[in-house]
Amino acid sequence: MKPVFLHDFFNVKPRHRVAQMELSAWLTTAHQRVVELTGTGATDLADHLRYMISDSAIQHRFIELGEINGNWESHEIYRLMPGSPRGATIEKRGQVFQKRALEVFQEFYATRATTEHLIHVTCTGYISPSAPQVYFAGQDRAPAITHAYHMGCYASMPAVRLAQALVSAGTDSVDVAHTEMCSLHMDAATHTAEQLIVQSLFADGHIVYRASAQQPHGESLRIIMVKEKLLPDSKQDMTWVTSQFGMQMSLSKEVPTKIALALSDFIGDVCRELDLSWEHLQANADFAIHPGGPKILTLAQELLLLSDTQIRASQEILRERGNMSSATLPHIWQRLLEHPSDKKYVLSLAFGPGLTIFGAVFERTTL
């Protein structure tokens, strides 16, 4: 297979950067509002508020909605009022997603040249025709568009695999574009511990990057391998499904344990396929680990015996932006390319519905 390089990363910041402490206070207020409207859930809420992610792990999150206040009547999505205590339906949330995603594509391609093919990745808004289809409609040099939807936090890696296949088959270059708006999918009527974790963890993020056969000038990542493993007896541990009031995630407390038990074998398989020893790969790689939460990063660092420097980019992105679903790893890759390193490789790991472990190995290149 011919070499394929990832480069030309560009991200569009969502409209609002909000301190984690402020977001947590608003989430608490929103849940309390629903308790008042419905007369139920007070005990569950009081018991589970402690599970929200603290500002020691996440300092800020970027979100598209400017509804972080108690003016419920004026809100578009979180209009928590008598008769609608769960806010807008999935139809309205999808309309808001589509409008903003179209604006994001306008920013992506304000100065960016169009490629032959575009892969649109999202887990938070499924509208047809999609935002890139609408944006490129009628343009003389519109790309072919492939949609890679609903795969969760690891979705960037199958998208990279698709891009690699397209370039290897003769496409000159492929753009991979992520538009994630997790803030559209909070349900303040569900007061479980897992939902308070999810709602205090996820954020919005948009990023586009290019895969090409021609090595670019400057820093890039050459794709060496992309690999996945579906863990047996785990389909109930993490799910991502549509509901009447947005997308809903389930997240079992067994997830960290099951990942820990499977990660060593997964890494062993990666090393065997690359014909590299773990000792060599571990000593010569920076690690882009999807921060499914602070505990995931801590767990991975301990299991893989990584230095703080090796996972610094992952920690920084979590602290600065939160978990942006599929857009998170590309932000980490961008951060790694912005900072020179003496490490030859970048090893990416992500965990998502399935329960699935996804890995990718890249080689840093400079021209």
CA-nearest of 348, 346, 350, 310 to 326 is 350
Q: State residue 353's pLDDT score.
A: 82
Name which residue leads in pLDDT, 319 or 140.
319
Q: Give mean pLDDT, residues 76-96.
A: 95
Q: Would you call 128 helix, strand, or coil by DSSP?
A: coil
Q: Provide mean pLDDT across the span 236-265.
A: 78
Q: Which residues pair with 177 in a beta bridge?
A: 120, 208
Q: How confident is the model at residue 288 (pLDDT cuts 50, 70, 90)?
A: very high
Distance of CA 163 to the CA centre of its chain: 18
Indicate the pLDDT class of residue 54, thresholds 50, 70 and 90.
Answer: very high
Percent of the chain residues topping a pLDDT of 70: 100
pLDDT, position 316: 97
Q: How many Å apart are CA 121 and CA 327, to the nearest integer?
A: 8
Q: What is the mean pLDDT of residues 48-67?
A: 96
Which domains can be identified in the chain, with CATH numbers? 219-366 (3.40.47.10)
The reported pLDDT for the residue numbered 135 is 97
CA dist., res. 356 & res. 324, Å (int): 18
Which pLDDT score is estimated for 155?
A: 95
Within the chain, residue ranges assigned H as helices are 20-38, 42-48, 90-108, 131-136, 156-168, 193-199, 255-274, 278-283, 294-304, 312-321, 328-338
Confidence of residue 151 (pLDDT cuts 50, 70, 90): confident
Mean pLDDT, the chain, whole residue set: 93
pLDDT above 90 coverage of the chain, percent: 82
Q: How far apart are CA 250 and CA 194, in angstroms?
A: 7
Q: How far apart are CA 297 and CA 214, in angstroms?
A: 34
Does the pLDDT at position 62 exceed 90?
Answer: yes
Distance CA 207, CA 155 (A): 13
pLDDT (mean) for 281-296: 92
Burial bucket for residue 198 (CB in 10 Å: 0-12, 13-18, 19+): buried
**pLDDT score at 355:** 85
pLDDT for 53 beyond 80? yes
Residue written as token pair 């015996």 = 305
Which band of pLDDT confidence, cut at 50, 70 and 90, is reported for residue 262? confident
Contact of 314 with 291, CB cutoff 8 Å: yes
**pLDDT over 80 at 271, yes or no:** yes
pLDDT at 69: 93
